[in-house]
């Protein structure tokens, strides 16, 4: 169990390192440049590499949660996040000004699914009173709030209201979502590496095993 969790956390750390290296390499403005656009710049191969590592880390963590007795809903949501991350990396977005392609559509909707799945999983998981539950709940709430800020500009443009890219900090809000969701996933894995006293575990909800409580 611990080997599985350590592997998952290490893989997530590797994906984070690749993402940071990508940002350093390109030197783009993270406030307004969305992460998907980095694929079109030198070092862009680091983007699918990072996302694939996130997907593998998510899958390993989901299996660890399942073995620890987490609810099926939490496990399914984490798996959905991992699959979405893989799809985001496998199907790149379209270049600016190009009509939406099949690859771009898969990328866009997989990203939305991932952004929604992890905070939902975090909220469900935090209800078990697991270790770090409060931090997970806060990070999940931040992710949902940032996701709303990501969606609003798209809705505004769909309504025919012009909105310049430099008027929207799309890059910032997107990064807040990603960082908070990675935090949820990491804390879930770390909680299983540090079991709490049995008395605390018995007060947890949903019949989760002492490892998770």
Provide the token pair at 175: 């990064």
**CB contact at 8 A, 16 and 47:** no
Average pLDDT of every residue of the chain: 85
- Predicted pLDDT at 163: 59
Tens of pLDDT, residue by residue over 56-78, are 999 999 998 888 888 899 999 99
6 compared with 58, residue with greater pLDDT: 58
Other CB atoms within a 10 A radius of the CB of residue 132 amount to 18
The pTM is what?
0.85
Contacts of residue 66, defined as CB under 8 A and 6 or more positions apart, other chains included, come to: 75
Residue 160: exposure state from Cβ atoms within 10 A (0-12, 13-18, ≥19): exposed
Q: Which residue has the tokens 């977005």?
A: 93
Per residue in 87-129, pLDDT tens?
A: 999 999 998 888 889 999 999 999 999 999 999 999 998 887 7
Task: Report residue 6's pLDDT band, with 50, 70 and 90 as the boundaries.
Answer: confident
């Amino acid at each position: 169990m611990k080997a599985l969790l350590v592997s998952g956390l290490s893989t997530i750390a590797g994906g984070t390192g690749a993402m940071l290296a990508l940002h350093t390499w390109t030197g783009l403005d993270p406030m307004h440049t969305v992460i998907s656009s980095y694929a079109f710049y030198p070092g862009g191969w680091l983007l699918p590499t990072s996302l694939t590592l996130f997907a593998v880390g998510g899958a390993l963590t989901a299996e660890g949660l399942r073995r620890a007795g987490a609810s099926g809903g939490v496990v399914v949501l984490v798996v959905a996040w991992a699959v979405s991350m893989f799809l985001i990396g496998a199907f790149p977005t379209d270049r600016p000004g190009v009509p939406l392609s099949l690859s771009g559509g898969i990328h866009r909707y997989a990203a939305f699914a991932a952004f929604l799945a992890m905070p939902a999983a975090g909220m469900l998981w935090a209800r078990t009173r697991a270790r770090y539950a409060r931090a997970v709940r806060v990070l999940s709430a931040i992710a949902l709030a940032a996701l709303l800020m990501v969606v609003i500009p798209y809705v505004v443009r769909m309504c025919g209201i012009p909105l310049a890219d430099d008027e929207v900090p799309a890059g910032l809000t997107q990064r807040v979502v990603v960082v908070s969701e990675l935090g949820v996933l990491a804390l879930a894995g770390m909680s299983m590496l540090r079991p709490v006293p049995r008395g605390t575990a018995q007060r947890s909800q949903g019949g989760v095993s002492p490892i998770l409580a």
